[in-house]
Chains A and B, each alone.
Chain A
Amino acid sequence: MSPAAWTVASIRRALEAKTISARELTKEFYARISLENPRLNCYLALSPERAYARADAIDENFRRGESLPVLAGVPVAIKDVLSTRGTTTTAGSRILENYVPPYDCTVVERLETAGAIILGKTNCDEFAMGSSNENSAYGPVLNPAAPDRVPGGSSGGSAAAVAANLAVAALGTDTGGSIRQPGALCGVPAMMPTYGRVSRYGLIAFASSLDRIGPFAQTTEDVARVLQVIAGRDPMDATSAGAPVPDYLPASNQPVKGLRLGIPKEYYGEGIDPQVRKKTEAAIERFNRLGCQPVEIRMPHTAYAVPVYYLIATAEASSNLARFDGVRYGLRVNGANLSEMYRKTRGTGFGSEVKRRIMLGTYALSAGYYEAYYLKAQKVRSLIARDFAEAFKKADVVLTPTSPVPAFKLGERTADPLTMYLADIFTVPGSLAGVTAISVPCGKTAEGLPVGLQIYGPHFGESRVLQLARAFEAAGGFAG
């Protein structure tokens, strides 16, 4: 976090002291975006008309004596898989190049109601499928910490926008690690809430049993503040949970002394970069000094999570992406008959990773293979969920590296899809189990590349996870 970076609290103080208006702050961010975005490619679309209208409304209401809403004037970036009324929403795909949604997703509606300013839409891997942002049809995002490297993915634009101070907070989506991994690679806190905690109404679905929406911010406190606004039951999303939403900020301020940290042996084996290992172990050591108790645990099915994930996620994607057929929205490539039109539209409109995953998912669900692949994967998914349930009997949280490696070079992993899939090895297990997790910075490698620590909590354990992240941040852990 650069010293100049705004936070929710510092914006509020400045607005109250009248040292800045919401309009001026919005302008400051757009000025920085026009300077930095041509190089970093974080934003695919900006919505200044909408942003200034909201900013003016906040300024006007405040002038009239109304109190400021909780996220008053906070400039926010939204991943381009989330529908925004009147602003192009491409999902990083050619097939939706000119798609302008006729409605807002619930999370954007909630953010605006809370006073946030939506600056624009952020770049991502096509339909959120990727771990490097190189699968965007609109070019990769560069990592602000090292411009020859990837920002991670798929929410690379959101992570990079916050890291480069082009937004105070951002929303991303996480299906197999797509919030946490780019958060780690760009060096910002990034949270995946529990399955069902945040409404997905208006999200362009990738894999419905896995997809989550969650925040990036400069500080843990701001992650909590944004989560507070977007969490909770939504009548428009039948999969949103009715569990009450606690007050995250006070809960996350509780002392951490005596909390038990699960350290699963399986996450510290081979394949992990030595510098990542060193930083993660140093983070655990720091928690020890804060009075936490490390507990050695086993999560024996960890190594099976990547194959389970790629079978289930692609199967669900093959079904979810059937709607892109050239009939109602997006690209259409004409053909002699309806079926030819479908095939040409989809063959032309989808990029290579999306087509590869649709093929894989269709295969895994097809007659004769369903039991061997999809059903087998669903059974092993139960075992992975059981690993987490057992872990949380012995420990309050589970600590792991977020990514086995720091940011890799652009183009380094694109040739072999399987190598790319293995970037998700520590994040997919939690996606499959439906639990919550945050990735927080825990220092940098000798080359200056950020390293992320992942804190897993049980279902609806957001307060606990934020509590540890906050204590870690307060103890200087983000700097390593």
Chain B
Amino acid sequence: MKITREDVLRVAELANLELTEAERETYGHQLESILSYCEKLNELDTSGVEPMAQVLTGSQTEAPELREDVARDAAIIEDVLRIAPDPSPPYFRVPKVIDR
């Protein structure tokens, strides 16, 4: 599996990560080696195998009825805003979203 510089830039963009030039270089090489290792999975024929989307099957979870979806006031708005980087009660303030 060849990971190009464009691949690294594209993935970093998707993941919202600003990377230094050195990081782009290192991660490119490391992703290549990890993904090559993962290609070991191609040794297995998985045609007819269902992907495992659920860890426990129905009988094992024995989950009771889901709770009622009722809003409760946790009364922590002030606590939450106090730890926000840029609070403007009752809102979180962010930099400009749309450039004109």
Q: Does B25 belong to the interface (CB within 8 Å)?
A: no
List the B side residues contacting A381 at CB < 8 Å: 51-52
Q: Nearest Cβ in chain A — how far from B72, in angstroms?
A: 11
B23 touches A355 (CB 8 A): yes
* Cβ contacts A212-251/B at 8 Å (1 or 0 each): 0000000000000000000001010010011110000000
Supply 20 A–B pairs (Cβ within 8 Å), ascending by A: A196-B56, A241-B61, A242-B62, A242-B63, A301-B44, A304-B44, A307-B37, A331-B85, A341-B95, A343-B16, A344-B18, A347-B17, A347-B19, A358-B15, A363-B7, A379-B51, A382-B51, A418-B33, A434-B56, A459-B60
Residues of A320-365 whose CB lies within 8 A of B = 322, 325-332, 334-344, 346-348, 350, 352, 355-356, 358-360, 362-363
List the A side residues contacting B50 at CB < 8 Å: 379, 382
Q: Nearest Cβ in chain A — how far from B79, in angstroms?
A: 4
List the B side residues contacting A331 at CB < 8 Å: 85
**Closest A residue to B15 using CB positions:** A362
B34 touches A241 (CB 8 A): no
Known: A307-B40, A334-B95, A376-B41. 7 other contacts (CB 8 A): A233-B63, A304-B44, A318-B15, A338-B96, A376-B46, A379-B46, A380-B44
- Complex Cα distance A39/B85, Å? 33
List the A side residues contacting B80 at CB < 8 Å: 102, 328-329
Q: Does A417 belong to the interface (CB within 8 Å)?
A: yes
A310 touches B84 (CB 8 A): no
Residues of A286-337 whose CB lies within 8 A of B = 301, 303-304, 307-308, 310-311, 318, 322, 325-332, 334-337
List the A side residues contacting B71 at CB < 8 Å: none
Q: Does B64 belong to the interface (CB within 8 Å)?
A: yes
B86 touches A332 (CB 8 A): yes
List the B side residues contacting A244 at CB < 8 Å: 62
A356 touches B46 (CB 8 A): no
- Complex Cα distance A241/B17, Å? 36
* Cβ contacts A165-176/B at 8 Å (1 or 0 each): 000000000000
Range of interface residues on B (Cβ < 8 Å): 35 or more
Q: Does A138 belong to the interface (CB within 8 Å)?
A: no
Q: Nearest Cβ in chain B — how far from A41, in angstroms?
A: 25
Residues on B close to A: CB < 8 A? Answer: 7-8, 10-12, 14-19, 23, 27, 30-31, 33-35, 37-38, 40-42, 44, 46, 49-53, 55-56, 60-64, 66-67, 74, 76, 79-80, 83-86, 92, 94-97, 99
**Closest B residue to A432 using CB positions:** B52
List the B side residues contacting A343 at CB < 8 Å: 16-18
Q: Does A460 belong to the interface (CB within 8 Å)?
A: yes
A337 touches B55 (CB 8 A): no
List the B side residues contacting A382 at CB < 8 Å: 49-52
Q: Does A375 belong to the interface (CB within 8 Å)?
A: yes
List the B side residues contacting A235 at CB < 8 Å: 67
Q: How many A-B contacts at CB < 8 Å in the complex?
A: 168
List the B side residues contacting A337 at CB < 8 Å: 95-97, 99
- Complex Cα distance A284/B3, Å? 45
User: Given A195-B55, A241-B56: A102 and B83 within 8 A (CB)?
Assistant: yes
A347 touches B61 (CB 8 A): no
- Complex Cα distance A338/B92, Å? 13
List the A side residues contacting B99 at CB < 8 Å: 337
Which listed residue, A238, A318, A327, A352, touches B66 by the CB 8 Å rule?
A238
List the B side residues contacting A459 at CB < 8 Å: 56, 60
Residues of A410-436 whose CB lies within 8 A of B = 417-418, 421, 432, 434
A328 touches B18 (CB 8 A): no
Sorted nearest first, the 5 A-B pairs with minimum C-beta distance are: A347-B18, A378-B51, A332-B85, A102-B79, A434-B55
Q: Nearest Cβ in chain B — how far from A240, in angstroms?
A: 8
**Closest A residue to B63 using CB positions:** A242
Q: Does A385 belong to the interface (CB within 8 Å)?
A: yes
List the A side residues contacting B27 at CB < 8 Å: 355-356, 359
List the A side residues contacting B86 at CB < 8 Å: 332
- Complex Cα distance A325/B94, Å? 11
Q: Does A30 belong to the interface (CB within 8 Å)?
A: no
Q: Nearest Cβ in chain B — how far from A143, in angstroms?
A: 27
Which listed residue, A308, A328, A340, A460, touches B41 by the CB 8 Å rule?
A308
A418 touches B83 (CB 8 A): no
List the B side residues contacting A352 at CB < 8 Å: 23
Q: Nearest Cβ in chain B — how far from A324, in angstroms?
A: 10
User: Given A196-B56, A343-B17, A382-B49: A304 and B40 within 8 A (CB)?
Assistant: yes
- Complex Cα distance A380/B38, Å? 12
List the A side residues contacting B83 at CB < 8 Å: 98-100, 102, 329
A346 touches B96 (CB 8 A): no
Q: Nearest Cβ in chain B — how far from A207, in angstroms?
A: 11
B76 touches A359 (CB 8 A): no
- Complex Cα distance A382/B99, Å? 47
A363 touches B31 (CB 8 A): yes
Q: Nearest Cβ in chain B — how far from A85, in angstroms?
A: 9
Q: Nearest Cβ in chain B — how far from A333, in angstroms?
A: 9
List the B side residues contacting A335 at CB < 8 Å: 95
